[in-house]
Amino acid sequence: MFIIASTMQKNFHNHATLEMLKNIPDMTWNPSIPQRFTGMSEESLKRMLIPYPKYSHIKKTNLIGNAPESFNWQHEAPECMVVRDQGQCGSCWAFSAVGSFSDNRCINKVDERHVMYSEQFMVSCDQNNHGCESAQLSLDQQFLQKTGVPTNKCVSYKSGTTGQAGKCPTTCDDKTPIVLYKSTGFEDICTSEESIKVGLQRGTVQAGFTVYTDFMYYTGGIYQHKTGDIIGHHAVIIVGYGEQNGVKFWNIRNSFNTYWGEYGYFRMVRGTNDCDIEDQCYLTSVE
């Protein structure tokens, strides 16, 4: 008699949780099972997140200035906004850092046109962080400033398929020399809602937040945590802010491809530090 062990993994999403979310009154967002996660197991989904990172000891900067009531780089500089896909690797930290760096070089006309820079180089070469496993956002900002990254054309993204950080490359994919591009600095501007708004006038902002079960049912609207346990941490890019029907929100770009959320973006309630979104955020300087 043979006993066959099942290797089937349970899907993360279930209809009982979905129905519970749909019955919560006064919801500002639409719960459903996102196409991006259809049939995905809990293990696979959590692999896209990182453990809750330790907070850095970098002194926060309180930015003071004038900021309009609403603002969105999707409208102000759409040519600079590109949604990426991190795949099956917890590399959100690199995608948010490098993505904001790329945004801000485009927004501030450092590059003549939008250039995608290499998340893979950071994932493979930043020895202070841990590839697809975990990272600290301030350390990836330090890597951008001290080491820099090449273009994505030079070192393309592979970890989303392999699930591994891979070796730090010494040449471009085509064996030509690597040219590195650096930031000129960074500031943690998460001292207040107003400070973040002022910072956004200069460029997009990398931010981290706590992920609860219900976030993985988000398909549109203004997300605010309603129910469920913590399943990890995630890093994203704040690109703007606004208000709808009396609910203030941040406009945020994710790294789950364009067929997730609102064409790759989502909105999160603003001014209440929902899911710790206003705890740690970095404005990357470029010249």
Active site residues: 92, 234, 254
CA 169 to chain centre: 24
Strand, helix or coil for residue 159: helix
CA 103 to chain centre: 13
CA 246 to chain centre: 26
> CA-CA distance, 25 to 131, in Å (whole number)?
40
> CA-CA distance, 205 to 198, in Å (whole number)?
11
The continuous run of DSSP H or E covering 269 comes out as strand 265-269
The identity of residue 247, as a single letter, is V
Q: Which residues are CB-contacts of 118 (< 8 A; sequence separation ≥ 6)?
A: 98, 149, 150, 151, 152, 154, 155, 156, 157
Residue 226: phi and psi, rounded to 5, are -120, -40
Do strands 230-244 and 205-212 pair parallel, antiparallel, or not at all (unpaired)?
Answer: antiparallel
> CA-CA distance, 210 to 252, in Å (whole number)?
14
